[in-house]
C-alpha cells in the first residue's frame, strides 16, 4: 500500500481475489495530506456513463471527456458541498474573483449531481446569467483538465490577504483511482491502456492515476509503451503468505462468534476451524489438525479463495452436498472438495485469460 501511495502514476497488477479492491477502498478512505482522491469503480459509474461505448472500446474512464467531469464531481462533493471544508477554505478562495469565475464555468460546463449548497450568496453567483466566461466554450479536453486541476490546487495570492498568518491551499495535487477493470472486454481494456498511456504522455501538472488491473491483462500491460520503457511504474501484488492466510481464516471465524475477545492475529486462540468442525461431529479427527493447512495450500496465496474454500468445507460439513460428501468428512473428502473448487475456479480464470489474449 505504501508503494502504491507514493507520488506518481501506477498500474497495480494482482490475481483475482488477492485484495485489489480492498486496497483501492482503503487508499480512498485514507488519502494523503492535501490530496484530492477520486475513486472510479466501473460498477458505480456505469449507470451514468455510456457503458456500451466503454465495452465497445469507443471510450474509457480515462478519456478526458469522461474523466474531467468525474474529477469535478468529486471536488464539488468533497469541498464545496462539505460544510466543514467550505467553512475552512472558501472564505479565502472567494476573495479571488478569478477562482470564483473558474468555479462558475466548471459548474455550468459539468453540472454536479447535487447542484445546490446551503450558501445563498454562492448559489446566486454560480447561477448569475450573462457573465463573462473565463474559458472558451470549445476549449480542448486537455486544457479543460488542466484548468480544473488549477482550480482544485488554487492558492490565493498573498496580496489579497495582507497580514494574514496563513494562506490555505485545500489540495496540492489530484489522484484518480480506477478499479473494476476485470469487467472490461478486450476492446475496452485496450482502449483503457491506450488512454492511460496518452494521459501519462500529456503529463498534466499535479495529477496522477492509479489503475488496478487483474493479472489476466498482464500481457496488455507489458505492451504499453511507457511500461516497456520503464517510465510507468507497475506494482505487482504478491501472493499472501501462509501465516497471513491462517490469520485471515481465524479472524473471520472469530468475527462471527459472540463475545469474541480479540481480532488481533497475534493474540488469537489456536482454536481453529478444524477443531470447531471436529467438535461438532462433522469432521473426522484425522482431518482436524490438517484442515487449515489443506485450505491454505489450496488457496495458493489468494485470500478470497481461502475464504471461499473454508465456506465450501463448512457447507459440506453442514450436509449441503449429501450426494457428494457424507459427514463426518475425512482428509480424502476435503482434498476432493478442494480439487473440485480449483477445477471450477481454474477454468473460469483460464477462460478470462483466453478472452484477454
Confidence of residue 356 (pLDDT cuts 50, 70, 90): very low
Q: What average pLDDT does range 341-348 have in this prediction? A: 71
Of the candidates 47, 107, 39, 103, which has an alpha carbon nearest to the alpha carbon of residue 67? 39
pLDDT value, residue 36: 93
Share of residues in the chain with pLDDT > 90 (%): 36
Position with higher pLDDT, 245 vs 230:
245
pLDDT value, residue 354: 45
Do β-strands 10-14 and 207-214 pair in parallel, antiparallel, or remain unpaired? parallel
Q: What average pLDDT does range 240-264 have in this prediction? A: 76
Has this prediction a pTM greater than 0.85? no
Q: Spell 312-327 as b/e; 16+ CB within 10 A means b.
A: bbeebbeeeeeeebeb
Q: Which three cell numbers stand for residue 205?
A: 501538472
**281 burial via Cβ count (<10 Å: 0-12, 13-18, 19+):** exposed
Q: What is the dihedral of CA 224, 48, 100, 151, to 10 degrees?
A: -10
R_g (Cα) of the chain, nearest Å:
26
Position with higher pLDDT, 132 vs 223:
223
* CA angle, residues 160, 166, 172, in degrees to nearest 5: 90
Task: Determine the angle formed by the axes of helices 186-202 and 331-356, rounding to 10 degrees.
Answer: 70
Q: From CA 128, how far away is CA 102, in angstroms rounded?
A: 13
Residue 158, pLDDT > 80, answer no
DSSP character string of 112-139? -SS---S-HHHHHHHH-SSPPPSS-TT-
pLDDT value, residue 153: 94
Position with higher pLDDT, 280 vs 76:
76
Confidence of residue 352 (pLDDT cuts 50, 70, 90): very low
pLDDT value, residue 267: 60
pLDDT value, residue 207: 94
The DSSP code for 217 is G
Q: What is the pLDDT of residues 40-68, one digit of tens each?
A: 987 766 556 667 777 888 888 888 988 99
In 3-state terms, what secondary structure has residue 283?
A: strand
> Is 193 in contact with 158 (CB distance < 8 Å)?
no
* CA angle, residues 48, 53, 57, in degrees to nearest 5: 130
Residue 259, pLDDT > 70, answer no
Q: From CA 80, how far away is CA 116, in angstroms rounded?
A: 10
Amino acid at each position: 500500500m505504501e508503494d502504491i501511495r507514493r507520488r506518481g502514476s501506477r498500474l497495480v497488477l494482482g490475481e483475482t481475489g488477492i485484495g485489489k479492491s480492498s486496497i483501492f477502498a482503503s487508499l480512498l478512505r485514507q488519502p494523503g495530506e492535501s490530496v484530492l482522491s477520486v475513486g472510479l469503480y466501473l460498477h458505480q459509474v456505469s449507470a451514468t456513463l455510456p457503458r456500451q461505448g466503454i465495452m465497445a472500446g469507443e471510450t474509457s474512464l480515462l478519456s478526458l471527456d469522461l474523466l474531467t467531469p468525474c474529477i469535478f464531481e468529486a471536488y464539488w462533493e468533497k469541498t464545496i458541498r462539505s460544510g466543514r471544508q467550505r467553512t475552512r477554505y472558501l472564505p479565502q478562495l472567494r476573495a479571488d474573483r478569478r477562482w470564483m469565475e473558474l468555479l462558475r464555468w466548471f459548474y455550468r460546463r459539468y453540472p454536479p449531481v447535487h447542484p445546490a449548497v446551503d450558501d445563498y450568496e454562492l448559489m446566486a453567483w454560480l447561477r448569475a446569467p450573462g457573465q463573462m466566461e473565463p474559458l472558451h466554450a470549445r476549449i480542448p479536453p486537455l486544457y479543460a483538465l488542466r484548468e480544473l486541476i488549477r482550480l482544485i490546487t488554487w492558492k490565493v495570492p498573498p496580496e489579497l490577504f495582507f497580514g494574514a498568518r496563513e494562506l490555505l491551499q485545500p489540495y496540492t495535487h489530484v489522484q484518480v483511482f480506477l478499479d473494476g477493470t476485470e469487467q472490461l472486454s478486450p476492446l475496452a481494456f485496450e482502449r483503457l491502456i491506450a488512454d492511460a498511456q496518452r494521459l501519462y504522455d500529456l503529463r498534466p501538472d499535479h495529477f496522477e492515476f492509479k489503475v488496478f488491473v487483474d493479472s489476466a491483462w498482464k500481457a496488455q500491460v507489458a505492451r504499453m509503451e511507457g511500461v516497456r520503457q520503464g517510465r510507468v511504474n507497475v506494482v505487482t501484488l504478491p501472493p499472501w503468505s501462509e501465516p497471513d492466510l491462517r490469520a485471515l481464516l481465524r479472524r473471520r471465524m472469530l468475527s462471527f462468534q459472540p463475545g469474541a475477545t480479540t481480532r488481533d492475529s497475534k493474540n488469537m486462540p489456536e482454536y481453529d476451524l478444524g477443531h470447531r468442525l471436529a467438535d461438532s461431529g462433522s469432521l473426522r479427527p484425522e482431518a482436524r489438525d490438517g484442515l487449515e493447512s489443506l485450505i491454505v495450500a489450496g488457496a495458493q496465496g489468494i485470500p478470497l479463495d481461502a475464504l471461499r474454500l473454508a465456506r465450501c468445507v463448512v457447507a459440506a460439513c453442514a450436509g449441503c452436498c449429501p450426494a457428494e460428501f457424507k459427514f463426518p468428512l475425512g482428509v480424502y473428502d476435503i482434498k476432493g472438495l478442494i480439487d473440485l473448487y480449483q477445477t471450477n475456479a481454474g477454468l473460469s480464470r483460464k477462460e478470462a485469460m483466453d478472452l484477454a489474449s
